[in-house]
Amino acid sequence: MTTVTVVEKILSANDRLAEQNRARLDLAGIFGLNIMAAPGAGKTSTILRTIKALTPQITIGVVEGDTAAVTIDADKVIAAGMPAVQINTGGECHLDAVMLSGALTQLPLDQIDLLIVENVGNLICPAAFSLGTHANVLISSVAEGDDKPYKYPNIYRGIDALIINKIDLLPYVEYNLDYFRRGVELLNPGVATFPISCRTGEGVDSWVQWLLGKVGK
């Protein structure tokens, strides 16, 4: 019982700070996006494809979350011409509102239209912690298998959009797209879904148009 109470207090404190993060983004006129996925699903590749498609129409700020003190992903974003901040979670399996609050102080918010937060690669922990962004997006790659909605239901329930990445691999792997989508529909009926390939660019336009509608451009 004590453990439950402590967890509730932690999540409640996180939610309060998440509200402050949201207010900060709203004040700056920024639409915030929290991208979650398993390791290797293509979070950074999707972000870089998105930057390429939207440049120079809008300015995108990126927060990169990682469990180790590396700047590989942030360096790629900066090389693509957009501001980025790397967060080292110190081994934690998710980002939280405190971490994002600190990252926001390091970004030129007055110059940004869209904030993309790349959460730590994990299908469990990130679902429990609000950051203050306006939308949650999950990337699920074909290479992961078609059973993920059935094995990790919580993260699918709380998303506003789903990207099915690496569809160029469909002819080469055992993956039943209909089975996968049925699982998603049971958990999150009607969720906006975008099958894409970051390698070929297939489907990216539909994803970008959805984003532009959210950003208001």
Cis (ω within 30 of 0) for the bond into 83? no
Residues 6+ apart with CB under 8 A from 20: 97, 101, 132
Return the HEC string of 13-64. HHHHHHHHHHHHHHHHCCEEEEEEECCCCCHHHHHHHHHHHHCCCCCEEEEE
Residue 95, helix vs strand vs coil: coil
In a structure prediction context, what are the per-residue pLDDT tens digits for the chain, which is 217 residues long? Answer: 444 454 556 678 899 999 999 999 999 999 999 999 999 999 999 999 999 999 999 999 999 998 776 688 899 999 999 999 999 888 788 999 999 999 999 999 999 999 999 999 999 999 989 999 999 999 999 999 999 999 999 999 999 999 999 999 999 999 999 999 999 999 999 999 999 999 999 999 999 999 999 998 6
> Which of these, 92, 84, 119, 99, lies nearest to 21 by C-alpha position?
99
What digits encode the pLDDT tens for the residues 158-177?
999 999 999 999 999 999 99
Q: What is the reported pTM? A: 0.92
Domains of the chain in sequence order: 2-215 (3.40.50.300)
Annotate 115-168 with DSSP letters as a single string.
Answer: EEEE--S-SSGGGG---S-SEEEEEEEGGG-TTHHHHSHHHHHT-SEEEEE-GG
Q: List residues bridging with 174 in a β-sheet.
A: none
Measured CA to CA, the distance from residue 77 to residue 113 in angstroms comes to 16
Q: Which of 149, 134, 165, 157 is nearest to 47 (CA)?
A: 165
